[in-house]
């Protein structure tokens, strides 16, 4: 018997088994392990796709004449969408709405806005998410600038808030009503971020390489809204049934941009 050959085969087998184990562990680590639907409740899984659709036509443009120059401009609504990096979409907010009752002890609680930082480069994030409790939503603003800042927030339903934060200090912002707020700074017109205040308990914030998972949902109709910075809102209506998981794929792309007049 060739002991050297047998030893080599055993060594190869050991290496092969170890490689298979590593691949299994890597696969398990990269794939989220979501619990199965339990009892009379269902689930919603929102997969975020931050890449443009293949084969989608380029945006249509029109000629725009200035006083001294002539150029072309996109006919789609919105601004600066061409600067979106689809491989690194941060601060994506997913909010689920329903007309029925919602369990208050949901295990998938979203992180609140926490602390918002303002420095010489602007806000530290493009979008924030805060949970609306019994006394409204509140979060902290850290002003790292050398001068006082006055921040104002305005919602689509004409609700508003304002706060003054001294240089290098911390300030507390309180928002009474839920909604989407555009936040501006009086001292710097270039500063802008978006704050989402949710009171449903069904909300999530993360990056485009993650999934938004919602568990323990009573059966019924739900509206899913995905807000990515500088992109159109992606929305779908989904019916949740007991014991099942509804999986949606949200395309975060300018290909969904509505045409003028729509």
What mean pLDDT is predicted for residues 232-260? 84
Domain of 87 in residue numbering reads as: 44-52+75-107+201-262
For the residues 213-231, what does the mean pLDDT come to? Answer: 92
- Domain finish residue from 180, 199, 218: 199
Cβ–Cβ under 8 Å, residues 204 and 48: no
Cα distances from 261 to residues 26, 75, 242, 258, in angstroms, run 49, 10, 40, 8
Same domain, yes or no, for 97 and 215?
yes
In a domain, 7, yes or no: no
Task: Tell me the sheet residues that pair with 251.
Answer: 49
Number of Cβ atoms within 10 Å of the Cβ of 241? 14
Tell me the CATH number at 182.
Answer: 2.60.40.420
pTM above 0.75, yes or no: no
122 and 195 co-located in one domain:
yes
Write out pLDDT tens, residues 62-89.
Answer: 676 766 666 655 555 444 445 566 667 8
Query: For residue 191, how many other CB atoms are within 10 A of its CB?
Result: 16
Residue 14 lies in a domain: no
Number of domains in the chain: 2
Q: Indicate if 188 and 207 belong to the same structural domain.
A: no
List of E strands, the chain? 42-49, 61-65, 70-74, 92-98, 115-119, 122-123, 127-131, 137-143, 149-155, 160-165, 170-175, 179-185, 192-198, 203-206, 211-217, 220-227, 234-240, 245-251
Do 102 and 224 fall into the same domain? yes
Residue 223 clears pLDDT 70, i.e. is over it: yes
**What is the chain's mean pLDDT, rounded?**
77
């Amino acid at each position: 018997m060739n002991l050297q050959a047998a030893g080599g085969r055993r060594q190869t087998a050991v290496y092969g088994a170890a490689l298979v184990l590593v691949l299994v562990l890597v696969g398990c680590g990269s794939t989220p392990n979501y619990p199965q639907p339990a009892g009379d409740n269902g689930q919603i899984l929102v997969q975020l796709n931050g890449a443009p659709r293949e084969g989608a036509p380029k945006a249509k443009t029109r000629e725009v004449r200035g006083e001294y120059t002539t150029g072309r401009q996109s006919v789609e609504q919105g601004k600066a969408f061409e600067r979106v990096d689809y491989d690194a979409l941060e601060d994506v907010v997913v909010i689920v709405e329903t007309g029925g009752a919602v369990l208050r002890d949901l295990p998938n609680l979203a992180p609140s806005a926490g602390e918002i930082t303002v420095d010489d480069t602007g806000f530290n994030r493009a979008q924030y998410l805060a949970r609306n409790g019994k006394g409204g939503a509140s979060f902290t603003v850290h002003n790292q600038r050398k001068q006082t800042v006055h921040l104002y927030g305005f919602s689509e339903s004409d609700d508003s808030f304002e706060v003054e934060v001294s240089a290098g200090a911390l300030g507390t912002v309180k928002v009474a009503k839920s909604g989407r707020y555009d936040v501006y700074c009086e001292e710097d017109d270039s500063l802008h971020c978006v704050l989402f205040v949710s009171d449903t308990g069904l909300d999530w914030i993360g990056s485009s390489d993650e999934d938004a998972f919602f568990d323990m949902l009573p059966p019924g109709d739900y509206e899913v809204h995905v807000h990515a910075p500088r992109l159109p809102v992606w929305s779908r209506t989904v019916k949740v049934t007991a014991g099942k998981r509804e999986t949606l794929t949200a395309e975060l792309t300018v290909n969904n941009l509505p045409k003028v007049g729509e």
